[in-house]
Amino acid sequence: MRLELVKRPERSKLFSALSPLIAFGLTIIAGAILFSLLGINPLTALGTYFIEPITQVWQLHELAIKAAPLILIAVGLAVCYRSNVWNIGAEGQFIMGAVAGSVLPVLFPETIGWWVLPLMLVMGMAGGAAYAAIPAFLKARFNTNEILTSLMLVYVAQLVLDWLVRGAWRDPQGYNFPQTVQFNPSAVLPELFPMSGRANAGFLFAVIAAVLVWFMISKTLKGFEVRVLGQSPRAGRFAGFRINRMIYFAFLLSGALAGLAGISEVAGAIGQLQPTISPGYGFTAIIVAFLGRLNPLGIVAAGLVLALTYLGGEAVQSALGVSDKVARVFQGLLLFFVLGCDTLINYRIRLVGSASAAPDVPAVVTTAPTVEAAR
């Protein structure tokens, strides 16, 4: 017996739209099974995980804080994935944006002025973009696989940050803790509604970025270029668009947004550099991008959902004594079900009897043209 995926002649519009909701529902069910296997009442656990963290106003602020970097990064990734550029290294670009943006408050902590914060944000974006330019250059020039290069550069970025906060940038008055000085007030992002919670301008950036990129993708020629080159590169070349230019555009844009997320995180929620500044936002944002169907507006909603999985993980850890790594499990389940649903929307499963499963040389040979065509 063998399973085969057969392409459907048409995608169902209804199920394409419902797919994220179905995936979320399946994640809940799988989560319930998981909790009951752990010997915890699944209803209590799911309530603690998904509902309790958003019952009070200050908790919504926390949700916004977690969602902001996810949305910012995912919006950039959506442009990448739509244009068939596979940037997996947003985590590294996030870190490098944070590092570049922190140059000013760490090395010149006395600097005060209204212009400090905007300059930090710009440097953060430049840092993220510059770091993303490395895999872009390698792909455009040498045709390297950007999935590998961008991913490997994440670990480089993590170690650079680690080295900085333990070495050159360590706070001299910090009792040898591996962290930089606390940023001075003019280097800290303002809170949106300080009366009710600590959500900061980062969430505002995320929403603005989502709206701008949505407009770019759906209304402008540049967005058209992104979509054409992503869907059929040859037609894109026929249209006069250049693939190499698109590789740079996608990487630089997503790198800048990830960098902005990075500097917003350290200038906002954290207030200094430390060895770990991200609970894997750059990777979780990949899930956000796909859950939001690579649509920037959908990504805002998806970002809030994934932010909730982080808060839920903390909640079940404190309330039920389950490891907060369960957040990773939920994120993984969600991505699995989203991709699974998408696959089943495009393909149907066919069971092939064992008789035909035997190697059939002629059949293999006749598939050769498809392999050719696929290249």
Partner 1 sequence: MTNTPPARGAELLETRGLTKVFGSLTACDHVDIAIRKGEIHALLGENGAGKSTLVKMLFGSLEPNEGEIVWKGERVRISRPGIAKKLGIGMVFQHFSLFEALTAAENIALSLDDGAPLSTISAKARDLSKAYGLPLDPEAMVGDLSVGERQRIEIIRCLLQQPDLIILDEPTSVLTPQEADKLFVTLERLRDEGKSILYISHRLEEVKRLCDGATVMRHGKVVGRCDPRKETAASLARMMVGADVKLAESTPISLEGAQELLGVCGLSRKPAGPFSMALKDIWLSVRAGEVLGIAGVAGNGQGEFFEALSGEVLQESADAVRIRGKSVGRMDISARRKLGAAFVPEERLGHGAAPRMRLSENLLLSRHATDWFAFLRFGRIGVVREGAVQSAAQRVIQMMDVRKSAPDPEAAALSGGNLQKFIIGRELDRQPTVMIVNQPTWGVDAGAAARIRQALIELARAGSAVLVISQDLDELFEISDAIAVMHNGELSKPLPRAEATYERIGLLMGGAEPGHVETREIA
Q: How far is the CB of 257 from partner 1 (least distance, A)?
A: 19
Among 1, 3, 9, 325, interactor with partner 1 by CB under 8 A: 9
Q: How far is the CB of 241 from partner 1 (least distance, A)?
A: 9
CA distance 242 to 263: 32
Looking at beta carbons only, is 219 or 318 nearer to partner 1? 219
Segment (H or E) for 348: strand 347-352
CA distance 241 to 250: 14
Contact positions with partner 1 (CB under 8 A) in 172-231:
219-222, 224, 227-228, 231
Using the rule CB under 8 A, give the single segment among 64-72, 274-282, 300-308, 366-374 that binds partner 1.
366-374
Look up tokens 């509604």; give the residue. 193
Query: Phi and psi dihedrals of 351, rounded to 5?
Result: -90, 130
Residue 118 tokens, joined: 């905007």
CA distance 233 to 13: 25
The neighbouring-strand residues paired with 200 are 191
Q: How far is the CB of 72 from partner 1 (least distance, A)?
A: 22
Using the rule CB under 8 A, give the single segment among 197-205, 325-333, 337-345, 365-373 that binds partner 1.
365-373
Q: Does residue 12 bind partner 1 (CB under 8 A)?
A: no
Q: Does residue 362 bind partner 1 (CB under 8 A)?
A: yes
Give the x/- contact pattern for partner 1 in 118-157, rule: CB under 8 A.
----------------------------------------
Looking at beta carbons only, is 137 or 224 nearer to partner 1? 224
Segment (H or E) for 185: none
The answer to whether 292 and 301 have CB atoms below 8 angstroms apart is yes
Looking at beta carbons only, is 218 or 276 nearer to partner 1? 218
Q: Does residue 15 bind partner 1 (CB under 8 A)?
A: no
Query: Phi and psi dihedrals of 347, rounded to 5?
Result: -130, 155
Q: Does residue 348 bind partner 1 (CB under 8 A)?
A: no
Looking at beta carbons only, is 112 or 239 nearer to partner 1? 239
CA distance 170 to 177: 8
Binding-site size for partner 1 (CB under 8 A) equals 29
Three-state SS at 354: helix
Three-state SS at 201: helix
The answer to whether 98 and 129 have CB atoms below 8 angstroms apart is no
Give the x/- contact pattern for partner 1 in 68-97, rule: CB under 8 A.
------------------------------
Three-state SS at 304: helix
Among 39, 167, 172, 240, interactor with partner 1 by CB under 8 A: 240
Q: Does residue 351 bind partner 1 (CB under 8 A)?
A: no
Rg over CA atoms, the chain:
23
Using the rule CB under 8 A, give the single segment among 36-44, 67-75, 104-112, 360-368 that binds partner 1.
360-368
Looking at beta carbons only, is 41 or 343 nearer to partner 1? 343
Please tell me what DSSP assigns to residue 242. Answer: -
Looking at beta carbons only, is 351 or 361 nearer to partner 1? 361
Instruction: Please state the separation of Cα 297 from the chain's center in Å.
Output: 14
Q: Does residue 368 bind partner 1 (CB under 8 A)?
A: yes
Q: Cβ contacts of residue 1 below 8 Å, gap of 6+?
A: 351, 352, 353, 354, 357
Q: How far is the CB of 8 from partner 1 (least distance, A)?
A: 9
Looking at beta carbons only, is 134 or 228 nearer to partner 1? 228
Q: Cβ contacts of residue 338 below 8 Å, gap of 6+?
A: 19, 20, 23, 287, 290, 291
Binding residues for partner 1, rule: CB under 8 A, are 9-10, 219-222, 224, 227-228, 231-232, 234-240, 355-356, 360-363, 365-369
